[in-house]
Amino acid sequence: MTPLSAGAQNETLFKKATEVYNEGDYNKAIEHYLKILENGKHSAELYFNLGNCYYKLDQTGPSIYYYEKALLLKPDDPEILNNLGYAQNARLDAFDTMPKTAMEKFYDGTVALFSFEGWAQIAVLLIALFALMYLAYYFFHEARQKRIAFALSMFCLISGVFALVFSYLQFERFKADNPAIIYEREVRVLSEPNKRSQEVFTLHEGTKVNVIEALDEWNKIKISDGQTGWLTSENLKLLKDF
Domain membership flag for residue 122: yes
| Strand-pair category, 218-222 with 208-215 | antiparallel
Does one domain contain both 79 and 8? yes
Last residue of a domain, one of 176, 192, 217: 176
pLDDT at position 187 is: 94
pLDDT at 6 over 80: no
Q: Please, what is the average pLDDT of the chain?
A: 91
Question: What CATH code is carried by the domain that includes residue 19?
Answer: 1.25.40.10
pLDDT at position 5 is: 61
pLDDT at position 24 is: 94
Does one domain contain both 108 and 161? yes
Higher-pLDDT residue of 166, 102 = 166
Last residue of a domain, one of 151, 176, 201: 176
Does one domain contain both 8 and 84? yes
Domain membership flag for residue 73: yes
pTM, two decimals, is: 0.79
- The domain in which residue 146 lies consists of 102-176
Does one domain contain both 232 and 205? yes
* Span 73-124, pLDDT tens digits: 998 899 999 999 999 998 888 776 767 788 778 877 888 888 899 999 999 9
- Average pLDDT score over residue span 218-227: 93
Does one domain contain both 7 and 54? yes
Q: Within 13 Å, how many C-alpha atoms sit on residue 20's CB side?
A: 16
Residue 91: DSSP 8-state: -
| Confidence at 191, pLDDT banded by 50, 70, 90 | very high
Output phi, psi for 230, to 5 deg.
-115, 145
Question: Where do the H-state alpha helices sit in 140-219?
Answer: 143-176
Q: How many domains does the chain have?
A: 3
Does one domain contain both 22 and 71? yes
| Confidence at 3, pLDDT banded by 50, 70, 90 | low
Does one domain contain both 165 and 189? no
- Average pLDDT score over residue span 33-43: 92
pLDDT at position 71 is: 95
Residue 194: DSSP 8-state: S
pLDDT at position 100 is: 76
Task: Encode burial over 201-225: b for 16+ CB neighbours within 10 A, e otherwise.
Answer: bebebbbbbbbeeeeeebbbbbbee
Domain membership flag for residue 131: yes
Does one domain contain both 27 and 52? yes
Does one domain contain both 81 and 8? yes
- Average pLDDT score over residue span 22-39: 95
Domain membership flag for residue 12: yes
Last residue of a domain, one of 57, 88, 119: 88
Domain membership flag for residue 96: no
pLDDT at position 22 is: 93
pLDDT at position 48 is: 97
pLDDT at position 107 is: 79
